[in-house]
Amino acid sequence: MSEKSSSGHPQTSYFVRDALLRLRRPLVPTIVSIFIVFAATLAIFATTGLAMASQQRALDNINSPEGRLITITDSQGSAGISTESLRLISSLEDVEWVFGMGPATDVHNLNVSDGEIVQARRVFGDFPPVIDSPVAMNLKDGQAVAPVEVLRKLGMADDVGTVSSRTLTGDIAGQFHAESPLTTLNKNVLVVSDGKSSGSNIMTLWVSVKDVRSLEMTSKAVMETLVSTQPEKLRVTMTSELARLSQDVQNEMASTARQTVTGLLLASALLLSAVQFGRVSGLAKDIGRTRALGGSRSAVVAQILINAGLSGVLGAFLGIVAGSILTLTLAGGIPSFGFSVGVGILMVLAAIFGSIPPAVRAAYMDPVKILRVP
């Protein structure tokens, strides 16, 4: 294919390909440019990235099951929490799950007269994801589940039997195991209740929110939605300090990132600009020939900017890989994918913008003066 247009001048694509070839000729400015971008990217990961990885781990700990839990307690059993509250609260946008529990009752194996005594509680609502039970979805009013250890105490090795007390009876239908934040249930028999039988008082209501940052707002919505005859007797417990700490950590992360990244981007752009000025001076005769052959100023600018952009891509990629390994080693985690991609894009843009002044200078160099033989 001819490298010239119909007018006899070289096509712009020729200069684009030439910019790619000049990554290797001269090699030193290319290596220096790649190293500058690599070093700046690695520096961002070693400072902001490392801090963000560490702070993200702190946020994950803050945004834990315990941190997202709202506990509503009726210590006297006189607040009259309605089972309708569970349906209404679960429909709130930021609520992950809601679960109710009645008072503790001592029960024993109905078929063993001198069997060991364990605690049982009526529970209300669908079993949340933190309670693992293969039969949870099929349980009906009056059926019960218990942990393996409790079943052993009751002498129910085959997970079948009935627990009983003066006020509560439950037919064992299977096992369960509760994870955080409901691990305290692992010492109890849970008897499913539809709230219609006598003694079905909800003493504790747990509400888990989807994100700790919405904890306080959701808590207010929960209390406004909850149906109770005497709501003033209810006590609400939550880790509101964690919600505020979560926001403080995020604000600190954003502020630190802006300051560090901005400084490194400016420094990188200045250094890359100096390197490209040196490249332009070293390639003065080649640029002069390009202009003499009919190359437009825009083609010369494109050559230099493409060269700078490619150097930036290589340097940013190597920096992201090295930075991710560094943060993983030191902080036990890596920054988010968005952070890594964002840093890479900003470094490439810094390389391109830093090369604009030398590119413009190259485009306006006089080819006659450059190529004049003394």
Same domain, 326 and 267: yes
> For residue 3, is it within any domain?
no
Same domain, 174 and 271: no
Summarised one tens digit per residue, pLDDT across range 135-160 is: 988 899 999 999 999 999 998 878 88
Picking from 183, 208, 238, the residue at the C-terminal end of a domain is 238
Same domain, 278 and 361: yes
> For residue 37, is it within any domain?
yes
Query: How many CB atoms lie under 10 A from the CB of residue 201?
Result: 19
Strand 69-73 with 204-209, pairing: antiparallel
Burial class of residue 78 (count of CB atoms within 10 Å of its CB; 0-12, 13-18, 19+): exposed
Task: Check residues 52 and 194 and name the one with the higher pLDDT.
Answer: 194
Distance from C-alpha of 208 to C-alpha of 93, rounded to nearest angstrom? 12
| Maximum distance among all Cα pairs of the chain, rounded to whole angstroms | 118
The alpha carbon of 182 is separated from its chain's Cα centroid by a whole number of angstroms, namely 24
Picking from 189, 212, 238, the residue at the C-terminal end of a domain is 238
The alpha carbon of 100 is separated from its chain's Cα centroid by a whole number of angstroms, namely 30
Report the domain count for the chain: 2
**C-alpha distances out from residue 123 to 55, 144, 188, 191, Å:** 37, 9, 11, 6
Summarised one tens digit per residue, pLDDT across range 227-261 is: 999 999 999 988 755 556 555 666 666 666 677 77
Tell me which residue range forms the domain holding 228: 69-238
Picking from 238, 267, 293, the residue at the C-terminal end of a domain is 238
Same domain, 55 and 73: no
Task: Work out the pLDDT band at 15, boundaries 50, 70, 90.
Answer: low
> For residue 297, is it within any domain?
yes
pTM assigned to the model: 0.56
> For residue 4, is it within any domain?
no
Can you tell me the mean pLDDT for 312-332? 89
User: Closest Cα to residue 306, out of 358, 340, 355, 367?
Assistant: 355
> For residue 1, is it within any domain?
no
User: Closest Cα to residue 89, out of 225, 228, 246?
Assistant: 225
Same domain, 167 and 268: no
